[in-house]
Amino acid sequence: MKKILLCGHLDLKANKETTSGQIIKTRIIKDELANEFSSNQISTIDTHGGHFSIFRIVFQSFVLLPFHRDIILMPAYKGITVLVPLFVIMNLICRKRIHIVAIGGWLDSFVKRHTLVCFFLRKAKCIYVETNRLKDHLDQMHFKNVVIMKNFKRLPTVPYNETSKKDDYPLKLCTFSRVMKEKGIEDAIHAVRRINDKSDKTIYSLDIYGEIDKKYKERFRTVLEKSPEYISYKGIVHYDQSVQTLKEYFALLFPTYYSGEGMPGTLIDAMAAGVPVVSSDWKDNAEIIKNDVNGILFPAHDTEALVRTLVIIQNKKEEWNKLRETARKEYEKYTPETALSVLLSYLKAS
């Protein structure tokens, strides 16, 4: 009998360059499990294709589930109403341990609107969530099987002696997430333009990285066409190249107000690169970004506050650059060795 069956959105046939948090986290957990267990002890079901692949997923689940001891489900927003009931019902006969790894910070609001799903979620051995806020909310809903497993990445960190200051003008800023309005892309552009328009020189440049959301492509193209040359789109960076890309920047901008935000991987990328973050105080960002440690927070949806924050760090470049080393130290909380230990302890239990 094999040890682990992992079911989630891997999209293994696609190009590896993706900024989808769901795909990246699913692939990372698959890779880390392969490091911990022999590859012949792990099987996968790729949920890529959504409703169009449901019959394939059901068939693979029916065939594979009896021959594995632990089942790891990594459902996204749409898949949770299908995958979790499917495996729980089949498990009435097979009696396996089901582990549900939540991706993002939406599970509490989801179960409030889909109360039937609660019955199936409570049948899992454990539900692994990324933040204290989400665990607290689910605890209040009388879930007894919720544990915290912080988001994590195995990244080639920048050595402490290489977290050098970046203070040449223009100061280089970037965004490093899915490109969509709700991630605050236009707020970042607006703030940089406001500051530069009021100065006699270019204070900031802004590079935008990430996969462009399909619904946002046309609007983003128009926004870029109307933007000055110091604002540019740089495409997609494979997640294992994120540190090498980010380490050259003065700051990472993360002005998100995306409703599904959990513990964003881009903040982990920035810490590993020794780059402090200017982040909106949205959802669980304050659990990760600490003022004067690895960045600074400003009120979400408040572009004027973002402008004021960028003016402050420009006027205090020396203090800001000192955060490069402390940001790098914060990454140690988000390594696989630290974060994944809670899941591994259950998987290794007899």
How would you write the pLDDT of the chain (350 residues) with one tens digit per residue? Answer: 689 999 999 987 655 566 677 888 999 999 999 999 987 899 999 999 877 888 999 999 999 999 999 999 999 877 899 999 999 999 999 999 999 999 988 999 999 999 999 999 999 999 999 999 999 999 999 999 999 999 999 999 888 777 677 889 999 999 999 999 999 999 999 999 999 999 989 999 999 999 999 999 999 999 999 999 999 999 999 878 999 999 999 999 999 999 889 889 999 999 999 999 999 999 999 999 999 999 999 999 999 999 999 999 999 999 999 999 999 999 999 999 999 999 999 998 86
Same domain, 269 and 292: yes
Same domain, 132 and 261: no
Q: Could you tell me the pTM of the whole model?
A: 0.88
The number of residues in the chain equals 350
Q: What is the pLDDT of residue 350?
A: 66
DSSP state letters, 244-280: HHHTT-SEEEE----TT--S-HHHHHHHHHT--EEEE
Q: What is the pLDDT of residue 2?
A: 83
Give the torsion sign (CA, 11, 16, 18, 22).
Answer: positive
Same domain, 291 and 341: no
Same domain, 26 and 104: yes
Q: What is the pLDDT of residue 24?
A: 87
CATH number of residue 231's parent domain: 3.40.50.2000
Same domain, 238 and 342: no
Same domain, 130 and 78: yes
The Cα 19–Cα 177 span in angstroms is 6
Same domain, 108 and 197: no
Closest among 46, 48, 92, 104 to 66, alpha carbons compared = 92
Q: What is the pLDDT of residue 165?
A: 78
Q: What is the pLDDT of residue 238?
A: 84
Contact (Cβ atoms closer than 8 angstroms) between residue 120 and residue 87: no
Same domain, 149 and 274: no
CATH number of residue 22's parent domain: 3.40.50.11930
Same domain, 103 and 23: yes
Range of the structural domain that residue 289 is part of: 160-333
Domain count, the chain: 2
End-to-end CA distance of the chain: 14
The Cα 286–Cα 297 span in angstroms is 7
Contact (Cβ atoms closer than 8 angstroms) between residue 80 and residue 117: yes
Contact (Cβ atoms closer than 8 angstroms) between residue 190 and residue 196: no
Contact (Cβ atoms closer than 8 angstroms) between residue 200 and residue 219: no
Same domain, 147 and 35: yes
Same domain, 118 and 170: no
> Which residues are within 8 A (CB) of 63 and not within 5 positions of it... i.e. 6 or more apart?
none
Same domain, 90 and 139: yes
Contact (Cβ atoms closer than 8 angstroms) between residue 173 and residue 206: yes
